[in-house]
Structure 1
Amino acid sequence: MQQALLFLFAVVAGVMLPIQAGLNSEIGKSLKSPVYATLVSFVVGTFGLLCYLLLARTQWSELKNGFQLPWYYWSGGLLGAVYVAAIIVLTPRLGVALTFGLTVAAQMVFGVIMDHYGWLGVPVSPINWPRVIGVALIIAGVVIVRFN
């Protein structure tokens, strides 16, 4: 049951991304800047998270644990900003399906590599033929979407 809820959460999050891309692209057009649109997205997201943390009465003292991590762990927010800005630039030019097809294919390729080596503390899962075939099918899907 717990795994089914996790899968459902992943699906819901996946559905939200193309919607976010469309919304953020319109903000980017209106503001005439993907960087401003990214800033707006992150400010609104930060406000939403702060509201959640206040309503959930979370323990703010847990934040201190993050300061014990190496500096490069903090770059995740910057990577997220680059990703959102890229989606804002790419979506109006390539369309939602191709933009996300390309980014998902890249995520899968790099994800399989990260899993193989266990980089950044992820569980090790060696590259094998089923994983290679799965990634190849995703890339094939991107090619079909592109040339359809």
Structure 2
Amino acid sequence: MNLIFLLMAFCVGMAMSIQAAVNTQLASSIGANSVVAAFVSFACGTIVLGGVALSRGGLGPTFAALAGQPVWKFAGGFLGAAFVFGTVFLAPRIGLLSLIVLVIAGQLLTSMAIDHFGLINMAVRKVSNVRVAGACIVALGVAVTIFGDRIVATLTR
């Protein structure tokens, strides 16, 4: 794998945490309205992506091709909205660290299934035992991150 792509993926993960924190602050400053904060986040993103798309040759042919797409291919937007709303809603309630480690655990398990079985028309990339072991280590890290203080407190009584 290209090191640049790996670094880009790491930066995307950093951006997710920062986005959740920024959107949470926006929500709290507008009356704890998580839905409006998620909407504003998507609106800002739409403006930026629209500008980039226009600079890369326009939207006309792409919009024309949209009409022939099956409805399920539009689920990404709904899932993205659910993600942004979920982070804005949950971050102040469970904390950013708990939110992000659980998001990572959910992404990890879902991604393994999609890769292994080629779900959603993705290429099949069989998950090896080594990768399953890595996922188990990450899952253990999630458990320690969320329940570690309680476990330590229980063991030291």
What TM-score, normalized to structure 1? 0.90
The root-mean-square deviation of aligned C-alpha atoms, in Å, is 1.7
Q: Structure 2 stretches of 5 or more lacking a match? A: 150-157
Superposed structure 1 runs of 4+ greater than 6 Å apart:
none
Residue 142 (structure 1) aligns with: 142
Deviation digits for residues 111-148 of structure 1, max 9, x if unmatched? Answer: 11111110112111223311211111111111121124
| CA distance, structure 2, for counterparts of residue 58 and residue 130 of structure 1 | 44
Residue 11 (structure 1) aligns with: 10
| CA distance, structure 2, for counterparts of residue 51 and residue 115 of structure 1 | 32
| CA distance, structure 2, for counterparts of residue 67 and residue 130 of structure 1 | 43
Asked whether 1:77 is paired with 2:83, we answer no
Asked whether 1:26 is paired with 2:25, we answer yes
| CA distance, structure 2, for counterparts of residue 119 and residue 142 of structure 1 | 25
> Equivalences for 1:52-63 in 2 at 5 Å?
52-58=52-58, 60-63=60-63
Residue 87 (structure 2) aligns with: 87
Identity rate, percent: 27
- Structure 2 residue matching 1:68: 3-state secondary structure: coil
Rate the CA distance shift 1:59–1:34 in 2: closer, same or farther, 3 A: closer
Cα displacement (A) at 1:91: 1.1
Letter in 1 for 2:36: Y
Letter in 2 for 1:84: V
- Structure 1 residue matching 2:126: 3-state secondary structure: coil
Cα displacement (A) at 1:98: 1.4
Cα displacement (A) at 1:59: 5.4
Residue 42 (structure 1) aligns with: 42
Q: Structure 1 stretches of 5 or more lacking a match? A: none
- Structure 1 residue matching 2:124: 3-state secondary structure: coil
What TM-score, normalized to structure 2? 0.85
| Range that drifts further, 52-61 or 33-42 | 52-61
Letter in 2 for 1:29: S
Deviation digits for residues 52-77 of structure 1, max 9, x if unmatched? Answer: 22333445313333333211110110
Letter in 1 for 2:37: A
| CA distance, structure 2, for counterparts of residue 43 and residue 29 of structure 1 | 18
